[in-house]
C-alpha cells in the first residue's frame, strides 16, 4: 500500500484554507475585497522580510540580524533627513550601510567560517547598538518635512491596491527571478543542498554566501523603508521585539526547511497568508491579546504535529526545525 | 491695655534707634541664614536615575531637566540604563542600594518588580522618588501623570466628538503587562460606565508598537467605517493609528485621542497636521522641574527617608488644534539638552 505523502507546505496551505473558509462563513465582513486587501497589507512587511530570510535559509544559513538591517538603515534615512541632509544622499547612505552589514555577515560566515547563528546574532546586536548609541537621537525617529512624498512607498494605493502589497509583490517577483531564473539562484540552492559537493563541482560558494547576506540586508532595508513610510516614523526599538521569530516562522511554516536547498517564494507567500489570516480574523473577533497568543500557538502546534505524523523524520528526510 | 501701649512705644523707640544704625548695616550686607546649609546639603551628593530605558522623549527629557537643575549645585548625577530589561533594572537598583546614593529617581517598569527593593533603599537611608509609573510601595515622593485621569479625559474627548454620530469607538491599548496601560484603561472604563450609549467595537493591545496599532486600526476601520472615535494610549504608538485613519480617508471624521510627553515633533506637530485630535500631555520639563524641586527639598530638610511621603500628580496639558501652535504647549528635546 502506498503511503500518502503530504508536504509541510500542503499542510500549512490546508490549515490556511480551513481557517479562511471558517472565517468567511462565520465572520461577517471578513470576505470583503476591502478586508482582503487590509489582511495582505498588514503582513506585507513581514512577507518582504520572509523573502530575505528565505534566500539565506535556502542557502543553509540563517540571518538573525535581519531586524537590525530593517531598523537601522531605515532609521538612518529618517534621521539624516531630519538633520537636514537630502533624501537621495540619505538613501545612498542607508544602502551602503546595508551592503556593509551584508558584507560583514557574509565574510564572517563564508571566510571566517563562523556559524551563521552566532555571526548574525552578534552583528545584529552590534548594528542595533550602533544605531542607538551613535545614529539616532530617539528610539522612534519621526518623519520630517524633507521626507514629503516618500510616504507613498507604504501608504496610499496603486490601481486600487495598497502600495505595501504592491511592494511585497514586486519583492516576490524579484526574488523569484533571482532564485529560479539566474545562475546565482541555482548556486544558492546547490550550496544549500550540499555545500561540500557544490564546492567540489566548482561553484564559487564563498562569494555566493556573501551575496546571500548582502541581498538579505538590502531587502531588509527595503522592508524598513516600507514600514517607516507606512507608519510615518521608524520605531527602531522594533529590534527588541519578537519580529524575528515571526519571520522565521513564516519561512519554516511555509515549508522552507532550515537544512537548506528546498522551497521558494511560494512557500513564503503561503506562510505569510496563514499568519495574516489568523491576525486579521482574531482582530475582527476582538479576541484579547492573551487569547490570540494561545490560538496562534495552537495552530502552529497543529501544523507541526500533523507534519511529524505524516512525514516521520529520519536522517534522510530531516528538514525544518532540525538545525 | 496700658502695658500694650508701653510695649508699642518701646518698640518705636527701638526702631528709631536701629534706623539710625541702618546705613552701616546695609553696606555690609545681610547674611541669609538658610542658603549655606542648603548648599552644603546638596554639594557632593549623588542622585541616581534608573529609567526603564533611555533614548525616548520622556526619559531623555527628565534626564536633561534634572541634570540642568541639580549639577550647578555640585550634585553628582549618575544614570543606570536597563534598556527595557526589567531584570537588568532590578539589578541596577540592587547594586545602587549598596552604593548608597543620597537619592534614587526610579521609573518603574511595573507595579511589583522594584517595590520591595525601594522599601529596602529607604530603610537604608536613601530617598526614593518614583516617576510617572509608581510601584506598590509608596516612597518619599511620586512625581508623575495620573493615568486614570488621562484615560478619563481622553475618553471624555472622544465621547463628546461622538455626539450625534455612530457612537462606535475603538481602544488601542499599550502592552498588557504595563500598569500605565491598565490604569489608563480603568479611566476609560470609568467614563464609559457613565455613557451606556457608547459601543466599544474593538479593544486590543498593540504593545506600544506603531505598526501593530496601524494593522489593528485598519482592520477595525474596514469593519466599522462609521467609527467616530479612537482612544489610543501613547502618541509614539498612535502615529500608526493615525496613519491608518489617514489612509482610510477618515481624517477629521474619526476623533483620535492619545497621550504622551508633549515633545514637539511627537505631539504638537502631529496635532497640527491633523493626525491627532487630542493629545493629553504630561509636560516632561515641568515634571523634571518638580522632581528636581522635590530632591532639593528632601536633601535640605534632613527628614529621615521614608518618614514623609507625598505625591505630585502632573497637571495635564490637553493639546488640540487651538494651542498646538503656541510656544508653551510643547517642548523641544534639543533645547532642553542645551
Question: Looking at A100-114, A127-141, A192-206, B17-31, which range is the least confident one?
Answer: B17-31
Q: How far apart are CA B115 and CA B137, in angstroms?
A: 5
C-alpha span between B59 and B162 (Å, rounded): 34
Q: How many CB pairs under 8 A join A and B?
A: 94
User: Cβ of A232 and B242 within 8 Å?
Assistant: yes
B31/A303 Cα distance (integer angstroms) = 81
- Residue in B204, B215, B242 nearest the CB of A289: B204
Comparing alpha-carbon positions, the chain A residue that sits nearest to B236 is A140
- B20 pLDDT above the threshold of 70: no
Q: Is B92 strand, coil or helix?
A: helix
* Contact residues on chain A for B176, CB-CB shorter than 8 A: 289-290
Tens of pLDDT, residue by residue over A63-103, are: 999 999 999 999 999 999 988 899 999 999 999 999 999 99
Distance between CA A107 and CA A123 in Å, rounded? 12
- Judged by average pLDDT, the poorest of A108-117, A271-280, B230-239 is A271-280
Q: Is residue A317 part of a domain?
A: no
What are the grid coordinates assigned to B294, written together?
A: 522635590
Nearest to B247 among A45, A136, A155 (CB): A155
Cβ neighbours of A144 in B, within 8 Å: 265
A110 contacts chain B (CB < 8 A): no
In chain A, how many domains are there? 1
Single out the residue of A187, A158, A181 nearest to residue A170, CA to CA: A158
Among the partner residues A39, A142, A231, nearest to B265 by beta-carbon distance = A142
Instruction: Give the pLDDT score at A11.
Output: 79
Q: Residue A177: pLDDT above 60?
A: yes
Supply the DSSP string of A82-120, one letter for each residue: HTT--HHHHHHHHHHHHHHHHHHHHIIIIIS---HHHHH
Chain B contacts to A (CB-CB under 8 A): 53, 55-57, 60, 83-84, 176, 201-205, 207, 209-211, 214-216, 218-220, 222-223, 236, 239-240, 242-243, 246-247, 265-266, 269, 275, 333
- Does the beta-carbon distance from A38 to B203 stay under 8 Å? no
From the list B204, B207, B210, the residue facing A233 with the nearest CB is B210
Contact of A194 with chain B, judged by CB distance below 8 Å, is answered with: no
> Class of the B36-144+284-307 domain?
alpha beta
The answer to the question of residue A319 being in a domain is no
pLDDT of A162 strictly over 70: yes
* Residue of A160, A166, A233 to mutate for B, most B C-beta atoms under 10 A: A233
**pLDDT class for A37, splitting at 50, 70, 90?**
confident
Q: Which of A146-155, A170-179, B24-33 has the lowest mean pLDDT?
A: B24-33
Q: What is the pTM of this model?
A: 0.81
Interface with B, mutate which of A231, A286, A289 (most B CBs under 10 A) = A231
Residue B4 pLDDT more than 70? Answer: no
Q: Contact, B288 vs B144, CB < 8 A?
A: no
Chain B contact for A238 (CB, 8 A cutoff) = yes
Contact B242, B265 (CB under 8 A): no
CA distances from B222 to A46, A232, B247 (A): 21, 20, 11
Contact in structure between A89 and A147 (CB atoms under 8 Å): no
pLDDT of A117 higher than 80: yes
Question: Mutate which of A163, A286, A296 to test chain B, going by most B C-beta atoms within 10 A?
Answer: A286
Q: What is the ipTM of this complex?
A: 0.76
The boundaries of the domain holding residue A80 are 8-310
Backbone angles phi, psi at A10, to 5 degrees: -70, -35
Strand locations in B156-267, DSSP E? 168-173, 199-205, 229-232, 255-260
Question: Given pLDDT bands bounded at 50, 70 and 90, which one contains residue A323?
Answer: very low
pLDDT tens digits for A269-294? Answer: 998 998 888 888 888 888 877 788 78
In a domain, A2, yes or no: no
CATH code, B147-281: 3.40.50.2300
Tell if the CB–CB gap between B266 and A140 is shorter than 8 Å: yes
Q: Rounded to a whole number, what is the distance in Å from the CA of A98 to chain B's nearest CA?
A: 22
Residue A225 three-state SS? helix
**Across the interface, do A286 and B242 touch by the CB < 8 Å criterion?**
no
Comparing alpha-carbon positions, the chain B residue that sits nearest to A44 is: B215
Backbone φ and ψ of A322, nearest 5° = -95, 105
Q: Do B84 and A155 touch (CB under 8 A)?
A: no
CB of A162 within 8 Å of any CB in chain B?
yes
Any idea what the CATH number is for the domain that residue A293 is in? 1.10.3470
Fold match flag (B36-144+284-307 vs B147-281): yes
Which residues in chain A are contacts of B214 at CB distance < 8 A?
42, 230-231
- B267 to chain A: nearest residue by CA? A142
Contact at CB, A155 and B223, closer than 8 angstroms: no
Q: In chain B, how many H helices and how many E strands?
A: 12, 12
Q: Where are the domains of chain B?
A: 36-144+284-307, 147-281
Residue with cell 528632601: B298
Cα Rg of chain B, angstroms: 25
Cell of A91: 538613501
The helix (H) or strand (E) run that includes residue B5 is helix B2-28
Chain B closest CA to A312's CA: distance in Å? 37
Beta-carbon separation of B222 and A279 below 8 A: no
Nearest CA in chain A to B211: A231
- For the segment B263-312, what is each residue's pLDDT rounded down to a tens digit? 988 899 999 999 999 999 999 999 999 999 999 999 999 899 989 999 99
Measured CA to CA, the distance from residue A267 to residue A180 in angstroms comes to: 14
Residues 6+ apart with CB under 8 A from A103: A210, A213, A214
Distance from CA of B25 to the nearest CA of A (A): 54
Q: Which helix (H) or strand (E) holds A290?
A: helix A289-310
Cα–Cα distance, A275 to A266 (Å, whole number): 14
pLDDT at A320: 44
- CA A233 – CA A236 distance, rounded (Å): 9
- Whole-angstrom CA distances from A44 to A38, A104, A167 are 10, 27, 8
Q: Is residue A316 part of a domain?
A: no
pLDDT in tens, B107-128: 998 888 999 999 999 999 999 9
Pairing label, strands B278-281, B255-260 = parallel
Amino acid at each position: 500500500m502506498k503511503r500518502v505523502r503530504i508536504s509541510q507546505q500542503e499542510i500549512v496551505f490546508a490549515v490556511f484554507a480551513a481557517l479562511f473558509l471558517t472565517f468567511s462563513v462565520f465572520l461577517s465582513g471578513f470576505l470583503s475585497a476591502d478586508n482582503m486587501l487590509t489582511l495582505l497589507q498588514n503582513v506585507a512587511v513581514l512577507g518582504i522580510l520572509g523573502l530575505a530570510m528565505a534566500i539565506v535559509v535556502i542557502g543553509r544559513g540563517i540571518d538573525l540580524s535581519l531586524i537590525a538591517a530593517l531598523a537601522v538603515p531605515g532609521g538612518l534615512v529618517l534621521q539624516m533627513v531630519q538633520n537636514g541632509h537630502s533624501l537621495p544622499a540619505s538613501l545612498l547612505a542607508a544602502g551602503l550601510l546595508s551592503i556593509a552589514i551584508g558584507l560583514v555577515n557574509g565574510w564572517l560566515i563564508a571566510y571566517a567560517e563562523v556559524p551563521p547563528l552566532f555571526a548574525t546574532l552578534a552583528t545584529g546586536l552590534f548594528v542595533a547598538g550602533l544605531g542607538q548609541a551613535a545614529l539616532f537621537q530617539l528610539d522612534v525617529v519621526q518623519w520630517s518635512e524633507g521626507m514629503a512624498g516618500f510616504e507613498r512607498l507604504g501608504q496610499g494605493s496603486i490601481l486600487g491596491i495598497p502600495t505595501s502589497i504592491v511592494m511585497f509583490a514586486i519583492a516576490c517577483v524579484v526574488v523569484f527571478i533571482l532564485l529560479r531564473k539566474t545562475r546565482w539562484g541555482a548556486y544558492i540552492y546547490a550550496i544549500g543542498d550540499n555545500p561540500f559537493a557544490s564546492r567540489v563541482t566548482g561553484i564559487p560558494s564563498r562569494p555566493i554566501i556573501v551575496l546571500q547576506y548582502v541581498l538579505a540586508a538590502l531587502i531588509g532595508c527595503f522592508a524598513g523603508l516600507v514600514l517607516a513610510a507606512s507608519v510615518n516614523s521608524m520605531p527602531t526599538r522594533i529590534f527588541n521585539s519578537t519580529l524575528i521569530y515571526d519571520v522565521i516562522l513564516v519561512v519554516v511554516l511555509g515549508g522552507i526547511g532550515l537544512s537548506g536547498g528546498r522551497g521558494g517564494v511560494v512557500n513564503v507567500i503561503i506562510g505569510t497568508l496563514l499568519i495574516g489570516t489568523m491576525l486579521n480574523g482574531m482582530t475582527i473577533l476582538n479576541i484579547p491579546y492573551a487569547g490570540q497568543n494561545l490560538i496562534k500557538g495552537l495552530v502552529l502546534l497543529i501544523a507541526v504535529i500533523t507534519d511529524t505524523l505524516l512525514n516521520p523524520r529520519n536522517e534522510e528526510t530531516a528538514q525544518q526545525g532540525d538545525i | 491695655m496700658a502695658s500694650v501701649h508701653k510695649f508699642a512705644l518701646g518698640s518705636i523707640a527701638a526702631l528709631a534707634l536701629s534706623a539710625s544704625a541702618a546705613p552701616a548695616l546695609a553696606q555690609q550686607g545681610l547674611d541669609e541664614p538658610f542658603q549655606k546649609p542648603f548648599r552644603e546639603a546638596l554639594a557632593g551628593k549623588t542622585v541616581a536615575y534608573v529609567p526603564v530605558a533611555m533614548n525616548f522623549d520622556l526619559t531623555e527629557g527628565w534626564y536633561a531637566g534634572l541634570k540642568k537643575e541639580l549639577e550647578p549645585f555640585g550634585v553628582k548625577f549618575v544614570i543606570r540604563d536597563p534598556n527595557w530589561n526589567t531584570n537588568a533594572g532590578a539589578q541596577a537598583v540592587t547594586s545602587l542600594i549598596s552604593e548608597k546614593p543620597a537619592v534614587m529617581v526610579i521609573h518603574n517598569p511595573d507595579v511589583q518588580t522594584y517595590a520591595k527593593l525601594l522599601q529596602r533603599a529607604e530603610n537604608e537611608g536613601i530617598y526614593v522618588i518614583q516617576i510617572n509609573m509608581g510601584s506598590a510601595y509608596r516612597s518619599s515622593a511620586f512625581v508623575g501623570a495620573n493615568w486614570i485621569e488621562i484615560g478619563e479625559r481622553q475618553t471624555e474627548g472622544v465621547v463628546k466628538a461622538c455626539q450625534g454620530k455612530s457612537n462606535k469607538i475603538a481602544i488601542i491599548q499599550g502592552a498588557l503587562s504595563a500598569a500605565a496601560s491598565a490604569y489608563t484603561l480603568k479611566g476609560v472604563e470609568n467614563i464609559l460606565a457613565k455613557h451606556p450609549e457608547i459601543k466599544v467595537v474593538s479593544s486590543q493591545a498593540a504593545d506600544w508598537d506603531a505598526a501593530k496599532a496601524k494593522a489593528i486600526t485598519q482592520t477595525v476601520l474596514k469593519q466599522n467605517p462609521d467609527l467616530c472615535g479612537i482612544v489610543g494610549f501613547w502618541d509614539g504608538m498612535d502615529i500608526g493609528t493615525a496613519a491608518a485613519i489617514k489612509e482610510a480617508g477618515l481624517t477629521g471624521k474619526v476623533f483620535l485621542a492619545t497621550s504622551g510627553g508633549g515633545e514637539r515633533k511627537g505631539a504638537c506637530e502631529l496635532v497640527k497636521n491633523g493626525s491627532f485630535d487630542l493629545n493629553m500631555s504630561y509636560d516632561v520639563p515641568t515634571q523634571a522641574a518638580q522632581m528636581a524641586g522635590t530632591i532639593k527639598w528632601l536633601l535640605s530638610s534632613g527628614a529621615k527617608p521614608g518618614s514623609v511621603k507625598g505625591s505630585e500628580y502632573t497637571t495635564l496639558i490637553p493639546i488640540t488644534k487651538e494651542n498646538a501652535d503656541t510656544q508653551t504647549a510643547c517642548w523641544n528635546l534639543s533645547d532642553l539638552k542645551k
